[in-house]
Amino acid sequence: MPHLRVLLQTSIPFAVDDWHVGRFSLLGQLLGRFAEITARNREPDHSGNDPLLVRLDRERFDEIWLFGVDAGNGFSPAECAAVNRFQAQGGGILTARDHADMGRWLRSLDGVGGANYFHDPSCCEPEPDRLCPDDLETPSISWPNYHSGRNGDVERIEVIEPRHPLIESSSAPGRALQFFPSHPHEGAVGAPPGEPRARVITRGRSTVSGRAFNLMVAFERGEGAPGRAIAESSFHHFADYNWDISKGHPSFVSEPESYEIQRNPRLLDDVHQYVTNCVQWLAPS
């Protein structure tokens, strides 16, 4: 595997009581086995732009893992344009957001941005009967949201055939990955209409309604789009708190916790394998 340089980037400036990049430290440690990691929060200057983000290019990074942890107005237009140039240069992109309009700016990204649905008639899920909360545990959180389980537990994922390499287990050839960290209100993603590079590769199922929902969309390389991409329904698949609840959470998180992963850390084996698969699959050709 070639030497890789990966940027882990949140969409907010540092705030101790928020989802700053330090709350993804376990992910950074795991990725550090395969790549040189730069982990940072957004740091806008007097112009409102982050100097590093507006100058993104393949000379410095091979992949960008973007966490849309903001209330909807994360990256500036200039920063989104730089991410699009990075993709056009063949860089790999992973995006992860959460419920309602968290990470709403992701829609400004070419390709992968269109895989994210929000609380907005212009970019919501196409099925009208999904435009309502699934998770009713936290009334302040609106749709789209899907209750896949409690923080600190795992959800069983449904693999969409044909099985994508991202979902393969290297420790047991022929076995698909089965478990992901769960969360009370995951967001919504889907393959954009008319985008031949994209397909849904896994689904989850609500523990409240029993309804299936998409977890991941994978974008292959294509003509005019040399970089691969992944759209995730929730950054909680990667957050320290969802891998180890003893790491803590911002004070606004109020939902009851589970101790299943704490009792059986091997439940994280599949998401660790998935992260390994992602960093290798997203690597530029």
Q: CATH number of the domain that 132 lies in?
A: 3.40.50.880
Contact 166, 278 (CB under 8 A): yes
What mean pLDDT is predicted for residues 122-132? 96
Residue 143's identity, in one-letter code, is W
Rounded to whole angstroms, what are the CA distances from 16 to 13, 21, 183, 237, 261?
10, 10, 21, 21, 25
Q: Which domain holds residue 141?
A: 4-281
Q: How many helices (H) and strands (E) does the chain have?
A: 5, 12
Q: Could you tell me the two tokens for 281?
A: 């699959």
* pLDDT value at residue 223: 80
Q: Is the pLDDT of residue 128 over 90?
A: yes
Q: Do the bridges between strand 154-156 and strand 179-181 make them parallel or antiparallel, or are there none, so unpaired?
A: antiparallel
The rounded mean pLDDT for the chain is 96
- For residue range 12-31, list pLDDT tens digits in order: 999 999 999 999 999 999 99
Q: Could you tell me the two tokens for 30?
A: 């795991």
Q: Please, which residues bridge with residue 229 across strands?
A: 93, 219
What mean pLDDT is predicted for residues 236-251? 98
Q: What total number of domains does the chain contain?
A: 1
What string of DSSP letters covers 78-113?
Answer: HHHHHHHHHHHTT-EEEEE--STTTTGGGGGSSGGG
* pLDDT value at residue 125: 97
How far apart, in whole angstroms, are the C-alpha atoms of residue 120 and residue 81? 22
What mean pLDDT is predicted for residues 147-162? 97
